[in-house]
Amino acid sequence: MGLLESFRRGMKKTRDFVAEGFNRIAAAMGVFDEDMLDDLEMLLVQADVGSSAAGALIGGIRSEIRASGDASRTAVLQKLEDGMLEILGPPGRLNPQPGVLTILLMVGVNGTGKTTTAGKLCARFQSAGMKVILGAADTFRAAAIEQLAHWGERTSTPVIAHQEGSDPAAVVFDAIHAAQARRADILILDTAGRMHNKQNLMDELAKIRRIIQREAPDAKCETLLVIDATTGQNAVSQARVFREVSEVTGLVITKLDGNAKGGVALAVAFETRTPIMLAGLGENLQDLTDFEPVSFVRSLLPEK
Ligand SMILES: Nc1nc2c(ncn2[C@@H]2O[C@H](COP(=O)(O)OP(=O)(O)OP(=O)(O)O)[C@@H](O)[C@H]2O)c(=O)[nH]1
Ligand SMILES: [Mg+2]
């Protein structure tokens, strides 16, 4: 299945909402007037694009109409597409080099999909012929360690784990040494997403990063913030908090298949200016795809 097709399928609910809403607004007259642009802005806000991003998009369309005098459906749609692509920026990619250790630190609030994404990534890299190791640095609950162990079994990936309640940084230390000894290409570190104490979280992530820098100074390290699209605007505040506590290098947007809130990808990209690298489109192993801005935007908007 091509990327556009998987986005379309995964984002059906968001697409139905946005594309049908756009067509309904545009059907009233051949050209857009002020009221229709207001309606379009409302539609974007309801699809969780966020009021700042929706305002910027509609502002861009208004100035384009003023400049060109063209308020046709096609012109508005084109400008909307261009504006969305500008917000999303160029595609961000994980480009692990075989033979050089890449460490992926999965961070994010509880339940966003960190562990599931870690499992899906194992399958992806292994099928590309790379050697992967998982580190269970979410030691907060025994169930979290079991869940990761289960993904390890499913994907035949070794899992480095300690007891529940142990120091996550110690797991990271062991996982790095295991990855180095076994000449792994990728080490994926699952972490806990507790948010009730920001200072704790900040200290824990800082300690993990110190261990990585000390024990694997030559590794390429990516901190991937996992965001749950179904949480709507809450996802934007999560992204803000995590960017304060750690240096996020890429975003993963999960559950884009979940409801009509897929527009949140635009809200988060607008607020964080951080590339969205991956998209989760379901609970299964294969439901992870590179985030491709053009396919995403095309799967959101109606045909021109
Ligand atoms: N529909 C859908 N469900 C997903 C996706 N990604 C994860 N999930 C589900 O979301 C739930 C939470 O996923 P986890 O991977 O356990 O989330 P987590 O961030 O590790 O959660 P904690 O360990 O509690 O912090 C599970 O039921 C997953 O199956 C996705 O892309 N689409
Ligand atoms: Mg987890």
Q: What is the model's pLDDT at position 29? A: 75
What is the number of the ligand 1 atom nearest to the C-alpha of 138? 23
Q: Predicted confidence band at 154 (pLDDT cuts at 50, 70, 90)?
A: very high
What is the DSSP code string of 139-193? Answer: -S-HHHHHHHHHHHHHTT--EE---TTS-HHHHHHHHHHHHHHTT-SEEEEEE--
| Ligand 1 pocket mutation, candidates 9, 115, 116, criterion most atoms within 8 A of CB | 116
Buried b (16+ CB within 10 A) or exposed e, 186-201: bbbbbbbbeeeeeeeb
pLDDT value, residue 69: 95
CA of 296 to the centre of ligand 2 (A): 26
Q: What is the CA radius of gyration of the chain?
A: 21
Write down how long the chain is. Answer: 304
Nearest to 134 by CA among 143, 123, 269: 123
Q: Is 193 in the pocket of ligand 1 (CB under 6 A)?
A: yes
Q: Give the per-residue pLDDT at 297.
A: 93
207-211: average pLDDT: 95
95 vs 102: CA distance, rounded Å: 9
Spacing, Cα 102 to ligand 2 middle (Å): 20
The 3-state DSSP composition of the chain as helix, strand, coil percent (nearest 5) reads: 55, 15, 30
Instruction: Name the average pLDDT for the chain.
Output: 92
Whether the CB-CB separation of 215 and 173 falls below 8 Å is answered with yes
- The pLDDT, as a whole number, for residue 2 is 64
- In the prediction, which pLDDT does 304 show? 83
Question: Is the model's pLDDT at 7 over the cut of 80?
Answer: no
Question: With a 6 A CB cut-off, is 228 part of the ligand 1 pocket?
Answer: no
113 lines ligand 1 (CB under 6 A): yes
Amino acid at 156: S
* pLDDT reading at 79 higher than 80: yes
Is residue 3's pLDDT more than 70?
no
Question: What is residue 260's predicted lDDT score, i.e. its pLDDT?
Answer: 65
Residue 6: per-residue pLDDT = 72
Residue 114 Cα to ligand 1 middle (Å): 7
Among 203, 14, 9, 223, smallest CA distance to 102 is for: 223
Q: Which residue has the tokens 């299964």?
A: 284
3-class secondary-structure state, position 293: helix
| Main-chain dihedrals φ then ψ at residue 177, nearest 5 degrees | -65, -35
For ligand 1, whether the C-beta of 262 sits within 6 Å is: no
Please work out whether the CB of residue 258 comes within 6 Å of at least one atom of ligand 1.
yes
Instruction: State the amino acid at position 214 in one-letter form.
Output: R
CA distance 18 to 14: 6
Q: What is the pLDDT of residue 196?
A: 57
pLDDT in tens, 218-265: 999 999 999 998 888 889 988 888 888 788 999 999 998 877 678 999
Rounded to whole angstroms, how far apart are CA atoms 304 and 288? Answer: 28
Backbone angles phi, psi at 17, to 5 degrees: -65, -50
Residue 39 to residue 192: CA distance in whole angstroms = 41
50 Cβ closer than 6 Å to some ligand 1 atom: no
Cβ of residue 152 lying under 6 Å from some atom of ligand 1: no
Q: Between 281 and 1, where is the model more confident? A: 281
Instruction: State the first-to-last Cα distance of the chain, in angstroms, to the nearest integer.
Output: 23
Q: Is the CB of 116 under 6 A from ligand 1?
A: yes
Quick one: what percent of the chain has pLDDT higher than 90? 73
User: Strand 186-191 to strand 220-228: parallel, antiparallel, or no bridges (unpaired)?
Assistant: unpaired
CB distance 230 to ligand 1 below 6 Å = no
Reported pTM: 0.91
- Pairing between strand 276-280 and 288-290? antiparallel
Give the Cα separation of 5 and 155 in Å (integer). Answer: 25
Answer whether residue 178 shows pLDDT above 80.
yes
Q: Which residue has the higher pLDDT, 233 or 102?
A: 102
Rounded to whole angstroms, how far apart are CA atoms 18 and 263?
Answer: 9
Q: Quote the ligand 1 centre to 9 CA distance (angstroms).
A: 19
CA 108 – ligand 1 centroid, Å: 11
Pocket test for ligand 1, best of 283, 286, 289 (most atoms within 8 A of CB): 283
Pocket lining: 231 vs ligand 1, CB cutoff 6 Å = no
